[in-house]
């Protein structure tokens, strides 16, 4: 189910809040295609949750489920972006394809023309530390929202990262997450805070549902996808159902709040 966008001349974004088939990239790629096909034509950028294409279990099975950025699973994402003329931000566990067999918690920003920018999560949480390798670089990318920082889940807790993106040229943050259901108020607070830090839009897409994989710890995810305004207030938000949050961002709102909150002037 999709929430209709508001009328505006600004970019239209969609946070596609969904459950994930852990260890099944083919099933998740099919879900992505179906969800994107159902979005309104006006959508410029669609987000899917952290580790969406692969899911995550904290053991050796991730090596088999992980996908290459230049491999067929991401090619299917690129085909979908081209078919529907929409930029896609998709999380997955990435295999480097190098001799060290490193795995990363990655997110790919895929443009309709196929160009792909990858961010590897710098701050790993909990059991990720035993399986994945942290990324090293912060990443910004030009999107229909302007220059945009890419953020994954636990990265939200690190104010130094937000401060690094607090530059006048960075107009937005795109956030993917798989936040525990028991702590979703922290997620909501942090998304809002990171929007206010830079007086910018923050669009956040969370995983919902449960991880129920044999011989792996279970997990419940909170969803709570949302868009935070440049003044830190909630523009629109979901609860925990599988649905698409679609909204259009007013290009004048950021300018208004940056005039009122003079962090770049002061």
pLDDT tens, residue by residue, 185-205: 999 999 999 999 999 999 999
Range of the domain at 193: 12-260
Alpha-helical segments (H) within the chain: 25-37, 61-65, 72-84, 159-164, 184-198, 251-260
Whether 176 is in a domain gets the answer: yes
How high is the pLDDT of residue 120?
Answer: 98
Whether 7 is in a domain gets the answer: no
Say if residue 68's pLDDT is above 60: yes
Q: Is 215 left (phi over 0), alpha (psi -120 to 50) or beta?
A: left
Q: How many residues does the chain have?
A: 266
Whether 143 is in a domain gets the answer: yes
Whether 2 is in a domain gets the answer: no
The CA dihedral of 253, 87, 36, 44, to the nearest 10 degrees, is: 30
Q: What backbone phi and psi angles, to 5 degrees, belong to 48?
A: -120, 160
What DSSP character marks residue 153?
G
Domain count for the chain, please give it: 1
> In percent, how much of the chain has pLDDT > 70?
97
Whether 3 is in a domain gets the answer: no
Do residues 149 and 138 make contact, with C-beta atoms less than 8 angstroms apart? Answer: yes
Say if residue 42's pLDDT is above 90: yes
The β-bridge partners of 152 are 176
Please give the C-alpha separations between residue 83 and each of 32, 39, 182, in angstroms, as whole numbers: 13, 13, 38
* Cα angle, residue 110 at apex, residues 109 and 115 outer, rounded to 5°: 115
Do residues 73 and 31 make contact, with C-beta atoms less than 8 angstroms apart? Answer: no
Whether 4 is in a domain gets the answer: no
> In percent, how much of the chain has pLDDT > 90?
89
How high is the pLDDT of residue 2?
Answer: 55
User: Which position has the higher pLDDT, 29 or 265?
Assistant: 29
The per-residue pLDDT for range 215-246, each reduced to its tens digit, is 999 999 999 999 999 999 999 999 999 999 99
pLDDT band at 1 (very low <50, low <70, confident <90, very high): low
Whether 34 is in a domain gets the answer: yes
Residue from 30, 29, 32 nearest 16 by CA:
32
Do residues 221 and 256 make contact, with C-beta atoms less than 8 angstroms apart? Answer: no
The per-residue pLDDT for range 91-140, each reduced to its tens digit, is 999 998 776 789 999 999 999 999 999 999 999 999 999 999 999 999 99
CATH number at residue 117: 3.60.110.10
Q: How far apart are CA 30 and CA 34, in angstroms?
A: 6
Say if residue 6's pLDDT is above 90: no
How high is the pLDDT of residue 101?
Answer: 86
Residue from 61, 65, 37 nearest 51 by CA:
65
Do residues 114 and 81 make contact, with C-beta atoms less than 8 angstroms apart? Answer: yes
Whether 266 is in a domain gets the answer: no
Alpha-carbon torsion (97, 59, 119, 244), positive or negative:
positive
How high is the pLDDT of residue 250?
Answer: 95
């Amino acid at each position: 189910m999709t929430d209709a966008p508001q009328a505006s001349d600004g970019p239209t974004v969609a946070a596609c809040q969904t459950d994930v088939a852990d260890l099944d990239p083919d099933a998740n790629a099919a879900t992505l295609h179906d969800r994107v096909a159902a979005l309104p034509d006006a959508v410029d950028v669609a987000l899917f949750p952290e580790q969406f294409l692969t899911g995550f279990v904290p053991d050796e099975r991730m090596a088999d489920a992980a996908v290459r950025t230049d491999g067929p699973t991401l090619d299917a994402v690129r085909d979908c972006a081209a078919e529907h003329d929409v930029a896609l931000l998709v999380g997955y566990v990435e295999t480097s394809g190098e001799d060290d067999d490193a795995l990363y918690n990655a997110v790919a920003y895929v443009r309709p023309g196929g160009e792909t920018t990858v961010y590897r999560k710098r701050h790993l949480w909990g059991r990720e530390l035993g399986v994945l390798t942290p990324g090293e670089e912060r990443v910004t990318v030009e999107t229909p929202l302007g220059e945009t920082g890419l953020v994954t889940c636990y990265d939200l807790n690190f104010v130094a990262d937000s401060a690094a993106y607090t530059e006048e040229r960075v107009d937005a943050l795109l956030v993917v997450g798989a936040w525990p259901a028991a702590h979703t108020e922290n997620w909501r607070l942090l998304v809002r805070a990171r929007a206010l830090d830079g007086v910018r839009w923050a669009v956040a897409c969370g995983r919902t549902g449960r991880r129920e994989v044999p011989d792996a710890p279970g997990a419940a995810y909170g969803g709570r996808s949302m868009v935070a305004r440049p003044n830190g207030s909630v523009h629109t938000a979901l609860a925990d159902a599988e649905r698409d949050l679609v909204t259009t961002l007013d290009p004048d709102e950021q300018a208004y709040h940056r005039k009122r909150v003079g962090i770049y002037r002061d």
